Amino acid sequence: MLKIRRLFQRSVVAFKKRPVAGLLGILSILLLVILIIARLTRPGESTDTLGQVAKVVEVYRAGVSSKVTYNGQVEKAGVVKILSQTAGIVNAISVVEGQAVSRGALLLAIAANYQGSNPAEIQAAIANRQYRMVLDTFDTQKEIIVKQKEIASKAHDNTVNLATISAQAREDTTGLINLNQTMLDALQANLSALQANNPGNVNGSAILQIQGTMAQVSAGQNQLKSALRNLDYQVSSANPPLQLADQQRSLTFQQLELQQKSLELNRDISALQAKMANISASSFKPTAPFAGKVDRVYVRRLQAVSPGMPLVSLAGGNRSSRLVVRLPKDTAVRVSNIEPSTLRIDSRSIEILPLYVSSEATDGSLYSVVYSLPEDVYPSVTEGDSLQIDIPLSSIAKSIAVPLEAVFQTQDSAYVFTIKDGKARASKVSLGKVSGKFIDIVSGITADDVVILDRTVAQDTPVVSK
């Protein structure tokens, strides 16, 4: 300790005598110490067993699935923002923040003016009253139609029955005509005999009597034949009487069928008009679509609202969330369904598998990859949040995906550096498609190769991987 103190005192004395030389000496010593420390602590270099300096480099193992990083959009179920579907004035608010509501509960009421009038409700009342009137008279009108059909059927049956009676009367009339004809024949024979044997007109009175009888019988015969002709006309189905009866019944039935269909159509249209009016009226009284809790009321009483304006935020129902990532087609078709994707949220990393990959473009030329988020993530995200996710890609057949920074390109070739025997060796490669930050290597390397990502290495540089 004493020797060190004496040496220090001598150094002080020498420094006072030669300050410039002393200062240079001190600076030289400090520089030497800094160089030694920097040499010992330089990052990226180590020595191998032969004493050679090996550069520490970042590497990528070719057999590992490539990953791309995208941002996805959060979609939450169970949180609904009730929007105004009509223009008007907020007349009454039935809920407050934090209030639990049941499905169908009235949230607020909108009027057409500041007095609280609502023409849509009046129109709905009119339509409902008309529909009720149609329903109340519907069965009665159907019964009337049924009775009218029965009357038409009975009128037709009556005509047919009359024709049957006429057919029976025709037989009787025919028999009477034949009997009268026989009497006329007998009278004619008697008359002929008397006229042939009538000397001195001895049979004149008898002849006159027979002629009178024949005149009476002939008159009756003519009447019977006329009646027979009428009966023949009425009982024949080829004649108009029976045809008119058939057509009248058919026409009446068709008219009544049309009347019944018109009646049913009027009932259905009245029901639709009532529903339409009720729908229009319901837009002035929004209700809860499910049971839940009111998170926020965006409006106040007597405030004017327009369509699309938020009214109430409601939370409840099926509380679930998902992440939708939109990717180009070349990337979407390679999304791995086996290796999980890594979701980054807050300070956590969560591994999840894709729920569905769309087979067609859903947003312009982009395809959708849907992930179902865990339940514990639900409170940490909001509708529309953007979350970062690392998505592993499956390699195309006979190709290996490597990061873009590993590829060196010249005018006529491309190559990557791999570690072989502890040194960087350039391998000429054939390039394929680019997917995000990765590019497919069609040939030139194998799945067992370790690809160097450091772009400062050169051929045969000793290297070791981190």
Q: What angle do CA 134, 137, 142 make, to 5 degrees?
A: 110
Is 378 a member of any domain?
yes
The residue count for the chain: 466
User: Once rounded to an integer, what is the mean pLDDT over residues 346-361?
Assistant: 90
Nearest to 98 by CA among 344, 296, 254, 271: 296
Single-letter code of the amino acid located at 390: D
Total count of domains within the chain: 4
8 A C-beta contact, residue 451 and residue 400: no
Is 286 a member of any domain?
no
Give the CATH number, domain containing residue 163: 1.10.287
Say whether both 132 and 267 belong to one domain: yes
Say whether both 169 and 200 belong to one domain: yes
The pLDDT tens digits of the residues spanning 236-257 come to 666 667 677 777 888 888 998 9
Is 170 a member of any domain?
yes
Nearest to 76 by CA among 369, 301, 375: 375
Binning pLDDT at 50, 70 and 90, where does residue 387 land? Answer: very high
Residue, of 404 and 299, whose pLDDT is higher: 299
DSSP 385-443: -EEEEEEEEPPPTT-EEEEGGGEEE-SS-EEEEEEETTEEEEEEEEEEEEETTEEEEEE
Single-letter code of the amino acid located at 334: R
Residue, of 321 and 159, whose pLDDT is higher: 321
User: Once rounded to an integer, what is the mean pLDDT over residues 65-77?
Assistant: 85
Count of C-beta atoms within a 10 Å radius of residue 121: 19
Residue 198, token pair as written in the block: 């009538």
Is 205 a member of any domain?
yes
User: Once rounded to an integer, what is the mean pLDDT over residues 216-232?
Assistant: 77
Binning pLDDT at 50, 70 and 90, where does residue 219 land? Answer: confident
8 A C-beta contact, residue 317 and residue 292: yes
Residue 38, pLDDT > 60, answer no
Is 246 a member of any domain?
yes
Residue 47 has what pLDDT?
Answer: 40
Look at residues 393, 421, 443 and tell me which one is the last residue of a structural domain.
393
Q: Which residues contact 150 (CB under 8 A, 6 or more apart)?
A: none
Residue 49, pLDDT > 60, answer no
Say whether both 131 and 229 belong to one domain: yes
Residue span of the structural domain in which 264 resides = 122-272
Residue 37, pLDDT > 70, answer no
Measure the CA–CA gap between 453 and 401, rounded to whole angstroms.
13
Residue 285, pLDDT > 60, answer yes
Residue 92 has what pLDDT?
Answer: 94
Say whether both 75 and 103 belong to one domain: yes
Rounded to the nearest integer, the mean pLDDT of the chain is 82
The pLDDT tens digits of the residues spanning 401-458 come to 788 888 998 888 898 898 888 888 888 888 887 776 778 888 888 877 888 888 888 8
Give the CATH number, domain containing residue 313: 2.40.50.100
